[in-house]
Amino acid sequence: MKTLRNSLILRILPCAFCLPLVVSFEAVTIPVELKSAVVKVIVNTTSCSVTCGPGFKLEELCEITPAGERRNCTLRRSDCLADWLCGLLHFTVPVGSSFRFSCLTSDVINFGSRAYSCTWKLAQGLITTNDMLFRPFKNPSCVIRFSPTRESDAGTYQCDVQVLKTSRIIKRVYFGVRMIRNDLVDLNFQKFLTWEQKLAANEAEGNTANSTREEMQEQQHFWQRRLFYECLVGVGSGVLGVVLVTVALCCLRRILARRAAEK
């Protein structure tokens, strides 16, 4: 009996402690000012403007009334961060030209690039992502410019973007740059197309009516030269034929004269 009585007491004690809490909770009343409060929350947002590194997104903020209505909605631009590894980008550049590349996108450069710093490394003459092959490369900004480019500029440039306040790396990208000498390779492929290929390209782009006068003159000169060569070949073939027929007739005449003399 004593054991049963103790168990009943242990079961009643938790209820005794909870009862004042329930009574006090029911006694709480919400102030009128709080019931009429308006909350400003994000109701919509876009995806990040980049797939790696720092970027931006647009957020729509609205005031939400106690009745659940939206009002006074505005758009704001906020920072966002995607995957920090951006991989390798390839470039083929003629020697002597102007060229540039940047760690940050144009949006970040125009709106808040001062919050970041860039550290460069170079694997000269190699296209690689092996960190053991890179050496420090001094460059004061997040943009590298070549004007003009040289053969010695070829290689892979590694860029680390860091947050100035925390020194945390938020982006790493590699730029593989190949330099081509103009006297060995001409990258102006349009110059080597035939007239028919240029015409087909113009038709594909819908620019048939915009064919240049130079291309038409070039085609006209081509057909004129071809006709001239064919005429020369024809004349030459005709003269050669007449000579061969004349020689054959002379030989036949001599043979017939010898046979007549023998008889």
pLDDT, averaged in runs of 10, over the chain (263 residues): 48 50 54 71 88 88 84 88 90 92 78 78 94 93 91 95 89 94 66 73 61 57 58 54 63 70 65
**What length is written for the chain?**
263
pLDDT of residue 233: 55
pLDDT of residue 210: 53
Radius of gyration of the chain (CA): 43
Quote the tokens at residue 116: 């970041």
pLDDT of residue 201: 74
| Domain regions of the chain by residue span | 34-81, 85-180
pLDDT of residue 213: 56
Burial 132-153 (b: 16+ CB within 10 A, else e): eebeebebeebebebeebeeeb
Q: Kindly report whether the global pTM for this prediction surpasses the value 0.75.
A: no
Fold classification of 85-180 is Immunoglobulin-like (2.60.40)
Which one, of 106, 132, 135, lies nearest residue 119 by Cα? 135
